[in-house]
A and B are shown apart, each in its own frame.
Chain A
C-alpha cells in the first residue's frame, strides 16, 4: 500500500514569534523544526507502511525553507519525498493549498491512504486537511487516536477517533485521508545513517503545471499579521501567615473579580 504524508517546516515551539515593522512574521534566528503535530503523522506513516508491506512518500507544498522538514522525514525513514513549488500559494488559503495537495496525490496515482498531523501550527488550522480529502473525493477520518486495522486487500480501515464527548470506533473504506492526534505513537528519532542519507537526497520539485492542478479563484485574503496586545497585568502576590489565610484572601479576590 502506498501511504502519503504531508509536512512542513515551522519555527521551533520555544521560538518567540513576532510581526516586524514591515508586517512580516519573524522568529529571529531560531531554527525551524518539522511541524510538531507531524512527528506523529510521520511515525504513523512508517508504522502503517511497514504493517502493510507498503511504501511511503512525504510531500511539502511551499518554498525551499520546507525542504528541511522533508529531510527530517527521510531521515526518520520515509522512502520518497517531493516538494511542490507554487508561487503565491500559502497554507493560509486552505482551498488553494488543498487543491495542490490533492493534485499531488493524484499524480502519484497508486495512493490508498494520506496521513496528516492534526493541524499545522503556523496557520493554527486544520481546514487544509479536510479540504484535501474533499478535493480527492475520499473518506475523511479526523482526530484519530489509534489506527486499529487496515486491510489493503479489502480496502478497509478501522480507527479510534476522539470527539468532544468521548471516543468512537469507526470503520470506513479506502482510499481515505486520516488526521492523527498527539499520543497515537512514540515518534522515533532520525538515525545517524538516516540523517546522512537524507542530507544527500535529491528532492524533486513539482510545479502546479506538473500536477495539472485546476486552481480555484482566490477567495481569501490575508490582510495583515498583528502582534498580540500586551497583557497588561499587575501581579499581586497574596500574602498571609498560613496557607489557610492565603486561601481565604485569594477567594475574597476571586469573588470581587466575579469569576466564580
Chain B
C-alpha cells in the first residue's frame, strides 16, 4: 500500500483548525496499512503550515508556494492535486468536507477516474479498500459505501465527525517542494474581491449552536412606525439583540429554522435543516422552534439538545434532553444573564 495524502486547507496563509480532523482520519487509515501520512499544502506560508500539520500526525509534506495558489481557486488546486496523485498513486486522498475540500477532491477524483465518498462520518479499512458511512436523504437515513482496490480513493469527512489528536509539539515533517501545473494565464477564474465577514462562526464547525424559529416574531418590543413588516422587524431585533448575545456568551453560532429564513427573519446561511446545513454540535439550543421533520434532519446529530418553547406539545421536546416551557423572550434574557454570571463573562 502507498501513502495517505491529507489535503491541508489554508486561508490567508493560516492552517484551518478542522485540518486536524482530516489528519486524524488519515492517520487511522495509514496506521492500519502501516503507511505514512503525507500532508499536501499549497499557497502562501505552506512550509510553516506543513510543520503545523506534523503536530497532528503528518510524517512528511509536499508543499507548493506560488502566487497562483495564494487564494483557493479550483482550477490551479485541482490541476496540482491531480498531478501529485498521478505521480505518487496514494492509497487515499482525504480532506475535510468544507466548500473547498468538497470541490477539490471531487474534481481530482474525476480527473483520474477514481471513486469518491463525500462527507464520511466514519471510516474503516476493508483489505486494501475503505468503507464509510454518510448521511442520505438529508440525514433521514445513512448509506454505507465502499471503495475497493489499492488505487487512489478520495474521501471527504464531515466536520466534527473525527476527533482531533492532541498536538505533539516536538514533531516535524520532511518537506518536498513541487511546482504548480497552471500558470496565471491558463487560469480562467479571477477573484476580483473578497468581502470577509469578521468573527463569522461557521455552523459546521460550531461546538454550540443557538437557533431561532418562527417564535422569534413574538418580540414584545414595539416595531417603529417606519419598520415596514412589524413581524420581520421584531424577529430581526430578537435575533440581533437576544439570540446573538446568548450565542456570544456561549462562544457559539446562531442558527435558524427554515420557517424563520423563509419569513425573511435572518439570511439563508444560518438555516439548519434539510435545505440548510446539517450540523452536529455538542450543544444545540432550539428557541421557538416547533421541530418539523425537515429541521430534525439537520440537527438530530447534536450531542445535547435543549428546547425552549411556550407550546408544551411542540415536537421538538421529544428530541430534547432538557426542555423549558416558557416564552423565549421571557426566558432567554434570563438564561443569558445566568450564563454570564456563572461563566464569569
Chain A residue with minimal CB distance to B194? A168
CB distance from A87 to the nearest CB of B (A): 20
- Whether B140 and A17, one on each chain, are in contact in the complex, defined by CB atoms closer than 8 angstroms, is yes
- Whether B145 and A221, one on each chain, are in contact in the complex, defined by CB atoms closer than 8 angstroms, is yes
Q: Given the complex of chains A and B, what is the CA–CA distance between A247 and B147 in angstroms?
A: 49
B275 CB contacts on chain A under 8 angstroms: 13, 36-37, 121, 182
- Whether A11 and B137, one on each chain, are in contact in the complex, defined by CB atoms closer than 8 angstroms, is yes
- Whether A166 and B196, one on each chain, are in contact in the complex, defined by CB atoms closer than 8 angstroms, is yes
Which one of B87-95, B98-106, B226-234 is at the interface? Answer: B98-106
- Whether B191 and A168, one on each chain, are in contact in the complex, defined by CB atoms closer than 8 angstroms, is yes
Chain A residue with minimal CB distance to B105? A127
Interface size of A by Cβ–Cβ distance < 8 Å? Answer: 85
Secondary structure of the B side of the interface? mixed
Would A220 and B306 be within 8 Å (CB), given that A130-B107, A233-B321 are in contact? no
B66 CB contacts on chain A under 8 angstroms: none
Which of B142, B147, B326, B343 is within 8 Å of A246, CB to CB? B326
Interface size of B by Cβ–Cβ distance < 8 Å? Answer: 92
Q: Is B37 close to A, CB under 8 A?
A: no
Q: Residue-by-residue, is A207-221 near B (CB-CB < 8 Å gives 1, otherwise 0)?
A: 000000000110111
- Whether A225 and B293, one on each chain, are in contact in the complex, defined by CB atoms closer than 8 angstroms, is no
Q: Residue-by-residue, is A162-195 near B (CB-CB < 8 Å gives 1, otherwise 0)?
A: 1111111111110010000111000000000000
Q: Is A18 close to B, CB under 8 A?
A: yes
- Whether B138 and A244, one on each chain, are in contact in the complex, defined by CB atoms closer than 8 angstroms, is no
CB distance from A72 to the nearest CB of B (A): 17
Q: Given the complex of chains A and B, what is the CA–CA distance between A117 and B74 in angstroms?
A: 19
Question: Which 10 pairs show the lowest CB-CB distances between chains A and B?
Answer: A219-B115, A134-B110, A131-B110, A130-B106, A127-B106, A17-B140, A183-B268, A223-B144, A259-B283, A220-B115
B interface residues with partner A (beta carbon < 8 Å): 11, 74-75, 78, 98-100, 102-103, 106-107, 109-111, 113-119, 131, 133-149, 153, 188-197, 200, 202, 204, 208, 250, 267-269, 271, 274-276, 278, 282-283, 292-294, 300, 303-306, 317-326, 330-331, 334-335, 337-339, 342-343
Other A-B contacts than A162-B269, A166-B196, A168-B192, 5 sampled, CB-CB below 8 A, are A164-B200, A219-B114, A235-B317, A250-B322, A250-B324
Chain A to chain B contacts (Cβ below 8 Å), 21 pairs:
A15-B293, A16-B293, A37-B275, A92-B143, A141-B189, A142-B103, A162-B99, A168-B191, A168-B195, A181-B268, A220-B117, A222-B145, A223-B131, A226-B133, A233-B305, A233-B319, A233-B321, A244-B334, A246-B326, A250-B324, A254-B304
